[in-house]
């Protein structure tokens, strides 16, 4: 526990921010829809990590942890829908490269 005790809230927040940034970069730069989804998962998990960290250090309140569970469920649901869309896009376009899927552009 001592090892754990030396780790403070700041570490969690830094990690979370790192994960968020990485996710954002992934979503903003990758062309594959699956990779973008993965980036989005990273962003969601960064947020969830924030919830859990704040919950842990605020002593007694478990609201943040409950929120983290919700975020996980939400992420699963989102991944389900998004992967179904990606699958449908792949059927239609034979690719999952989002730069090629631009027929709705005005």
Which stretches of the chain bind other proteins, using CB under 8 A? 24, 27-31, 36, 98-99, 102, 104-106
Closest-CA residue to 53 (of 33, 35, 31, 68): 68
The tokens of 68 are what? 């983290």
Residue closer to other proteins (CB basis): 94 or 105 = 105
Residue closer to other proteins (CB basis): 25 or 76 = 25
* Least Å from the CB of residue 65 to other proteins: 25
* Least Å from the CB of residue 69 to other proteins: 25
Residue closer to other proteins (CB basis): 25 or 66 = 25
- Sequence-distant (6+) residues with CB within 8 A of 10 are none
Alpha helix positions (H), 1-106: 2-5, 9-29, 33-57, 63-93
* Least Å from the CB of residue 14 to other proteins: 17
């Amino acid at each position: 526990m001592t090892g754990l005790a030396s780790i403070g809230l700041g570490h969690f927040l830094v990690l979370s921010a790192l994960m968020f940034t990485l996710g954002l970069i992934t979503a903003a730069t990758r062309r594959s829809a699956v990779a973008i989804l993965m980036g989005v998962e990273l962003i969601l998990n960064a947020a969830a990590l924030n919830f859990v960290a704040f919950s842990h250090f605020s002593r007694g309140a478990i609201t943040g942890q409950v929120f983290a569970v919700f975020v996980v469920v939400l992420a699963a649901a989102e991944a389900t829908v998004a992967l179904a869309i990606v699958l449908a896009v792949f059927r239609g376009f034979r690719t999952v490269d989002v730069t090629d899927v631009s027929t709705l552009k005005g």
